[in-house]
Amino acid sequence: MTTVPQIIPADALPVNLSERRAPIWWGMVMLIVIELTVFSTLVASYFYLKAGSPVWPPDGIKPPELLLPSINAGILILSSLPVWWADHAIRKGDTRRLKIGLGIGFVMGAVFLALKAVEYAGNEYTWATNAYGSIVWTITGFHSAHVLILLIKTVVVLVLAFRGFFNERRNVAVQVNGLYWHFVVLVWIPLFAALYLSPRFL
């Protein structure tokens, strides 16, 4: 006599822990700690090179303009709001606000990258010009790579959202994406201060 396997309803499947005890949540926290260390080292390297140079930027390079980078920084900082809104929406089971919030955040992140490309296309130096060019391009390139990765992650989460994967219980991937988004946004603030403000005011 054979037994018919029991079919388990989808709602009864594990939800991969939607609270902060989820292993993937703590994994993201540990990744952020590591990346924060790398960014801190890059900023320390920038100021080490600055301290050893009688003029900064060297070789007659003008200090960076502030208007476009400031507008762009504002766009990136504000992008955290729709992502936060999306995160809180899905915890209440609101998939419509989840999709809208992630979509707006994605567009704002893409605009940041596009404006960053416009800004650096007009630079009078490259990564190979001198130590200043090398450290500036390394820091901005490293951060821009993080924004690009973040956009790719957000597309994946959006696709899953449109396929109905998330609800008020199953949303840890949204939380982790939001956590990483806010980190990438917040870390740009000290980087902006170092790269754009310190050459003019320190």
Sign of CA dihedral 78, 83, 87, 92: positive
d(CA 202, CA 190): 14
What phi and psi, each to the nearest 5 degrees, are found at residue 183?
-65, -50
pLDDT of residue 163: 92
Residues 16, 165 contacting (CB under 8 angstroms): no
**Exposure on the CB side of residue 171, measured as CA atoms within 13 A:** 20
Model confidence over 107-128: pLDDT tens digits?
A: 999 999 999 999 988 888 888 8
The CA-to-CA distance between both ends of the chain, in Å, stands at: 83
Query: In the structure encoding, which two tokens stand for residue 174, read together?
Result: 């949204």
Which pair of tokens denotes residue 114? 């596009």
- pTM for this prediction: 0.87
Q: Domains in the chain and their CATH numbers?
A: 35-201 (1.20.120.80)
Residue 89 pLDDT > 80 = yes
pLDDT digits (tens, 9 = 90+) for 146-176: 999 999 999 999 999 999 989 888 888 999 9
Identify the pLDDT of residue 45: 97
pLDDT confidence band for 140 (50 / 70 / 90): very high
Over the stretch 29-78, which tens digit does the pLDDT of each residue have? 999 999 999 999 999 999 999 999 999 999 889 999 999 999 999 999 99
3-state SS, residue 73: helix
Q: How confident is the model at residue 26, as a pLDDT? A: 87
What is the chain's alpha carbon radius of gyration, rounded to the nearest angstrom?
Answer: 21
